[in-house]
Amino acid sequence: MRRRPLLWQLFPSYILVIILSITAVTWFIIYSSKQFFLTQNAKELEARAVILRERMTGLNFGSDTAFINDLCKRVGLESATRITVILPTGKVIGDTDEDPTKMENHANRPEVQEAVGGRIGVATRYSHTLYETMMYVAVPIIKDGQILGIVRTALPLTSIEHAFGSIYTKIIVGGFLIAILAMAVSFYISRRITLPLVKMKRAAGHFTRGDFTHHLPIGTTEEIGQLAETMNEMAKQLNEKIRTIINQRNEREAILDSMVEGVIAFDMTERVIGLNRAAAQMLGVEINQVTGRYLQESFRNANLQKFVARILEGGATQDEEIGIQDKANIILHLYGSPIHSENGQNLGAVIVLHDVTRLHQLETIRREFVANVSHELRTPITSIKGFIDTLRDGGIHSPEDTSRFLEIIARQTDRLNSIIENLLTLSELDQTERGNIGLELTELKGVLQNAIGACELKAAAKEIQIQIQCDDDLKANINAPLLEQAVINLIDNAIKYSETKSSIEISAKLDNATIAINVTDHGCGIEKLHLPRLFERFYRVDRARSRELGGTGLGLSIVKHIVSVHDGRVEVESTPGKGSTFSIFLPLSTLPFGS
């Protein structure tokens, strides 16, 4: 139904009521006053007729007709009333205006018929004799219980109607003015009734826009005031409820977002109800782009889709590991369970995601490490076993061969020993917590000199010069034996991979809040492609050459570990054929104040 403003519903009703009541009142006034005048007129005519009757009672209606007619004319002219005297037969014997002999029989006139019956007859009708509307009152003249005749008095109503014409105009104009006044008043009242409602409607607009702090005006009308108060109270309660809901939602979101595990919930139609930041990150989606959308359009991962479908269909908890190919081969462990309502109805599924990529990587590293260790150990053991078997079988006769074989066995044993020692060092370093290695403020020059001393024999064997450049007072907060071991490993490599008679430079300096220890050689250098993996355990550029030189492939990974427990980092710059520079950077933060 079409809705209209209250003002335009109230105001027309008022106008209708006003028009109807004023018309009714006007009509009633006109009708009553007219009736009153007609009644008065009839009484007047009756009184005149009764007076005449008294005068005529003694007359003879058979012989005194001339007198009667004359009386009618005289009295009629004096009293401006038409007087007619009629016999019970209807014959007119006297009349004010006409010659009775020419007048027709009046027996059928209603007022005459009444009077013939002994009653007073009153009638109003158009007179064909006088050509105007007249009021007639007929009174019987009774003598000795016998009706002798009838006196009829009559007056034209034209004057009354004229008089009433001007009264009608006045009443109608008055009614019209009253109606206009009443309309103005009713418009004012309608506005007064509707204005508070209009104001309330405007104010309630704030509620629809979510502003529940706004207050509706109370006004002076009881009912509207109560309504406004009720709505204000309702808005207050709604505001509190919404705030509580928002707080609860924020708390829930904060908890979910602070979780390392991803959480994602679906309804029974596989539509995403919600997910936390961790889940969005793991699955590579934006929270607001997938919330409310279907699983198929949000996550293009067939395994995840099947997993969710299984939980929704089966209604039982499930777990599985899936790979996310498009996101750097992330592996996720999914744990999903159905969501039940209070009455046990299935509402959807919630899935908890764990990023197990790192675990998988560690597992792979561990497996590779075990394989590498076994391989590294097998080579010298096989070699030792081979030579021992040869010696035992008596296949060697010359003492030179025997001593050569024993030397090889001894070298392989040394190799085994150094591999195991290096592995032990690494394992110890693995167990050492960062910053928990007992740092001491130590002069670096001494540490570097000790490292050079340890490598002196090897350097001398290849006639390699080692130069050192370090301020005497340069101190670092270090674990001296560990750092010395790291520098020894770097110098040892520099000697191993340099030609005879070349040189090695070792320097230590404070640069930009960092202490940099550089070991530079002019040896074979390293191809760029090997640099990213150089510090991995058992990684070697040239496996055969490394073995030949007594390398274990663990030296640089030990360096990396030692530096990292000092909160530092190690880097390498190398040009194949020209040489390499290995740099250890120790942060100044490990230095005590004032050093």
User: Under the rule (CB under 6 A), what is the footprint of ligand ADP?
Assistant: 493-494, 497, 521, 523-526, 534, 539-542, 546, 551-557, 580
Identity of the residue, 412 or 493, whose beta carbon is nearer to ligand ADP in the bound complex = 493
Question: How many Å apart are CA 211 and CA 206, to the nearest integer?
Answer: 5
- Residue found by looking up tokens 């007594």 in the block: 550
As given in the structure block, the two tokens for residue 573 are 């710059």
The DSSP letter of residue 525 is -
Find the shortest distance in angstroms from Cβ 426 to ligand ADP: 11
Find the shortest distance in angstroms from Cβ 271 to ligand ADP: 54
Identity of the residue, 266 or 538, whose beta carbon is nearer to ligand ADP in the bound complex = 538
Strands 262-267 and 346-355 turn out to be antiparallel
Give Rg (Cα) of the chain. Answer: 65
Identity of the residue, 200 or 570, whose beta carbon is nearer to ligand ADP in the bound complex = 570
Question: How many Å apart are CA 478 and CA 463, to the nearest integer?
Answer: 31
Identity of the residue, 111 or 521, whose beta carbon is nearer to ligand ADP in the bound complex = 521
- Give counts: helices (H), strands (E), the chain: 15, 17
Q: How far apart are the first and last CA of the chain?
A: 90
Identity of the residue, 506 or 524, whose beta carbon is nearer to ligand ADP in the bound complex = 524
Question: How many Å apart are CA 333 and CA 355, to the nearest integer?
Answer: 6
Q: What angle do CA 578, 580, 586 make, to 5 degrees?
A: 160
Question: How many Å apart are CA 583 and CA 571, to the nearest integer?
Answer: 5
Q: Which residues contact 514 (CB under 8 A, 6 or more apart)?
A: 585, 586, 587, 588
Q: Which residues contact 298 (CB under 8 A, 6 or more apart)?
A: 272, 285, 289, 290
Identity of the residue, 435 or 550, whose beta carbon is nearer to ligand ADP in the bound complex = 550
Query: Distance of alpha carbon 95 from its chain centroid, rounded?
Result: 102
Find the shortest distance in angstroms from Cβ 592 to ligand ADP: 32
Nearest Cα residue to 492 out of 559, 572, 405, 568: 559
Find the shortest distance in angstroms from Cβ 349 to ligand ADP: 50
Question: How many Å apart are CA 222 and CA 360, to the nearest integer?
Answer: 75
Q: Would you say 502 and 469 are in contact if contact means Cβ atoms under 8 Å apart?
A: no
Find the shortest distance in angstroms from Cβ 456 to ligand ADP: 18
Find the shortest distance in angstroms from Cβ 587 to ligand ADP: 24
Q: Does residue 375 carry a catalytic annotation?
A: yes
Find the shortest distance in angstroms from Cβ 580 to ligand ADP: 5
Find the shortest distance in angstroms from Cβ 533 to ligand ADP: 9
The 3 state secondary structure assigned to 270-320 is: CEEEEECHHHHHHHCCCHHHHCCCEHHHHCCCHHHHHHHHHHHHHCCCEEE
Find the shortest distance in angstroms from Cβ 508 to ligand ADP: 18
As given in the structure block, the two tokens for residue 452 are 């050079």
Q: Would you say 375 and 388 are in contact if contact means Cβ atoms under 8 Å apart?
A: no
Identity of the residue, 357 or 583, whose beta carbon is nearer to ligand ADP in the bound complex = 583
- Write the CA distances from 281 to 254, 261, 327, 329, 365, integer angstroms: 16, 10, 10, 14, 25
Identity of the residue, 186 or 546, whose beta carbon is nearer to ligand ADP in the bound complex = 546
Find the shortest distance in angstroms from Cβ 526 to ligand ADP: 5
As given in the structure block, the two tokens for residue 132 are 């105007």
Identity of the residue, 97 or 571, whose beta carbon is nearer to ligand ADP in the bound complex = 571
From 375, 522, 530, 561, the catalytic residue: 375
Identity of the residue, 82 or 415, whose beta carbon is nearer to ligand ADP in the bound complex = 415
Count the neighbouring beta carbons within 10 Å of the beta carbon of residue 345: 9
Nearest Cα residue to 445 out of 423, 415, 478: 478
Residues belonging to the active site: 375
